[in-house]
Each structure stands twice: as C-alpha cells, then as structure tokens.
Amino acid sequence: MNPMQRSSRLSEVRYDLRGPVQQVAKQLEAEGHSILRMNLGDPAPFGLEAPESIVVDMVHHLREAQAYSDSKGIFSARTAIVQFYQTRGLMQFGVEDIFIGNGVSELISMTLQAFLEPGDQVLIPSPDYPLWTASVLLSGGEAVHYACNDQENWWPDMADVEAKISARTRAIVIINPNNPTGAVYPRHILEQFAELARKHELVLFSDEIYEKILYEDAVHIHTAAVAPDLPVLTFSGLSKAYRMPGYRAGWVAVSGNRTATAGYREALELLASLRLCPNVPAQHAIQTALGGYQSIEDLVKPGGRLRVQRDLACRLLNDIPGVSCIPAAGAMYLFPRLDPAIYPITDDEQLVIDLLRSQKIMISHGTAFHWPAPDHFRFVILPREAEIRDAVDRIATFLGQLRAQAPA
C-alpha cells in the first residue's frame, strides 16, 4: 500500500497554539515535570466553572436531549438568542436567522465554507485568533492580514485595512473584544468597517465571543448595530462568559437584506443539515444562561477575580526590564511586547520552547497569532494571583538570563 499523504489543502494551514510547543510540553510532562500553563483560554482548569444553575438545567433536560434536534438548533434556544439581541437593540434578528453550533469554532468553518470560492480573499486582523486564518485557507480562500496598532489601544489601522482591499476581497473579519490583545473597539472604528463594507460590497464576520468580558469603562458594541443594512455574521456563545467551553454551545446570527442573502442562507442550512445537529444537551443551557443572573459581571468589576488578575499580571509584566504591556480592555489575555533592543529575538517559537524547558512554564508566541514580528507573546490571566506571580517570576528569571548572556 502506498503511504497515506496529508492533503495539499493543509500545506499552508497552521495552528501553532497546539503545535511544537505543545509537543514539548507533553514530553516534559511524560518525564514527570509539572507545567504551569499560561497559554490556555479555558476557564475551567483554573477554577472558573460554569454557574450551577446552568449545569442543573442541562442535567434536567438530558433525557429529552437524546434525539437529534433541528439542524439549526432547538427552537427555545434560538428564541432566547434572538431575545438577548433584542435587549441590545438589535431588532433585525429572527429565530430563522440563528444557527447553533458545536462552539463558535465549528461555525467559523461552516460559514466560510458556505461563502468562499477558490482564491477569494478575506481580511483578518493581525494579531488574530488563528482559527480564522486556518479556516479561510481550508475553505479555499486567501487570508490577508490587516494591522492593529499597539500604540493605539490595539485598534485596527483603518488605512491599512482599506489598502488591503482588492478586487478579490469578499469579507472582513472583526474580532471584538480581541483575542489575543484584549482590545475593545469603539463605535467610530466599527462605523469605519461598515463604511468600507458598503463601499466595496463586503460581508462582515464579527467574532464577539468575549462580548461580556469587559473591564473599567469599556463598552461592547455589536457590529450589526452599526451596519443594519449590510450582511453581517455575528458569532457568540457560552464558552467564555459562562465558563463552559467543553459543552460546545455557540451560535451565529445572520443579518442583512434577506433577498440578497437568501442563497447564502440556503447554503448554511445545507451545511447545518449535513452535520445533522449541534450538541443537544448544551443547547438546553442557552436559555438559562442568557436569561439568568450574569455572574461574569462579578468577575470583571473592581475587586472581581478577573479584574484583579488582569491588573496584577499587567503590573508585574511591566516591571520586567524590556517588557511593556497594555492593559486589556476585554477578554482574558495580555499581549506583552519584548523590546527588540534588549531581546534581539529572531524565532519567538524557539524562545517559548526554551522558556518551557528552562522554567516549566508555557506561554504562546506572538507569531502564532499572525503577528509579523517575533517580539510579542500571549499571557493568560485566568490563573489565580499566586500562580500569576509565580508565572511572571519564572518569565523574569528566564529573561534576566537572556540579558546576562547578551553581548555587551
């Protein structure tokens, strides 16, 4: 038998968050080492668990969740999603505009597969959540990255966005709040995206999974709210704000002129049918989650656990010579910069591997998020204060060794 080869469609696909660094971590753990994982965007391992009321409601509905559901999701869950958006002033959504999926990740792939032709270009932020880039490539498209500016709150460089638009551009991806930077975009930025979409007849894909995780005076504005006339796909779910990523409950809401989007909606319904249905038990959690007490607000307010951990991590990282860190306005991450004059790094993945082997701590390198320079890393703020202090101490020790080894 001839050797099985990987598909050529994977030739440019990367997902470095679970690549070589993860393999080194597994090897070290197999050797008996304990790894401090500051790379995970999963709340549960750090004691941030789903609210009990949501879990109880899911258990209560288990017996009636044994059969397939409607391919788009159960009616009560989709109704709850529509009602949530109505409370946010988005009156354009109806129940048939909602597609529930096994997390937002599945829906990213599904919505792009239903949309792209070979060679179509999609604009994606740099840095990005790398699943977007991988999914565009797997759908036959070309990912084109627009710059976000760390000197301007990590907001998109709108001049660069417009400069990247070509005759082959079909869509723009907006990640707001952003992973990995924690940026939250103000209304004028979203309005500029909407204006570019109108001018060039583009679709807006708006990843809003962190919409409820906001700090200080940050306000999340839905992209669909500033673009009611445009085709907008709004993604969200329960994995982050409700701390239940393993249950796989996400959704996408399709808005825009129904006649203009009719063919696309049919394609989405076809793909939704091909996967039969989303995970049914988790769908029963959606109505309870969206309609119940929003416990995430306690975690992000002053004195709340996530707010305290963000402030602590940012302060400690900024105390390291040659490290600068902008406080995240939202989400669960920081994206610190290493001054190239002090740390002349050429391969940040190797840097992260060396840190892992030396200090038994795992972070994510910035180029894994399609940031062009090897001068950033992502640091997760989910662990408790003692673990954050320990993690920053280990990073500071490692970077101190690099500075000592640098030529005078």
Give the mean pLDDT of 251-263: 92
Query: Closest Cα partner for 338 from 380, 306, 386, 371?
Result: 371
- Residue 266 has a pLDDT of 94
Tokens of 372: 């062009």
Cα 89 from chain centroid (whole Å): 24
From-to residues of CATH 3.40.640.10 in the chain: 52-291
Give the mean pLDDT of 238-267: 92
- Tell me the pLDDT band of 20, cut-offs 50, 70 and 90: confident
10 Å Cβ neighbour count for 271?
Answer: 17
- CATH class (in words) of the domain with range 13-49+298-405: alpha beta
Q: Return phi, psi of residue 99, to 5°.
A: -120, 120
Cα 236 from chain centroid (whole Å): 10
From-to residues of CATH 3.90.1150.10 in the chain: 13-49+298-405
The pLDDT of residue 126 is above 80: yes
- Residue 399 has a pLDDT of 97
- Tell me the pLDDT band of 253, cut-offs 50, 70 and 90: very high
Fold of 52-291: Aspartate Aminotransferase; domain 2 (3.40.640)
Give the mean pLDDT of 221-232: 96
The pLDDT of residue 406 is above 80: no
- Residue 14 has a pLDDT of 65
- Residue 106 has a pLDDT of 94
The pLDDT of residue 408 is above 70: no
Give the mean pLDDT of 204-212: 97
Beta bridge partners of 364: 378
- Tell me the pLDDT band of 143, cut-offs 50, 70 and 90: very high
The pLDDT of residue 166 is above 70: yes
Q: Taking a C-beta distance cutoff of 8 angstroms, is the pair 329, 85 a contact?
A: no
Q: What is the pTM of this model?
A: 0.93
- Residue 158 has a pLDDT of 97
- CA 134/CA 386 separation, integer angstroms: 35
Give the mean pLDDT of 396-405: 93
Phi-psi region of 201 (alpha: psi -120 to 50; beta: other; left: phi over 0): left
The pLDDT of residue 374 is above 90: yes
Q: What is the pLDDT of residues 319-352, one digit of tens each?
A: 999 999 999 999 999 999 999 999 999 999 999 9
- Residue 64 has a pLDDT of 86
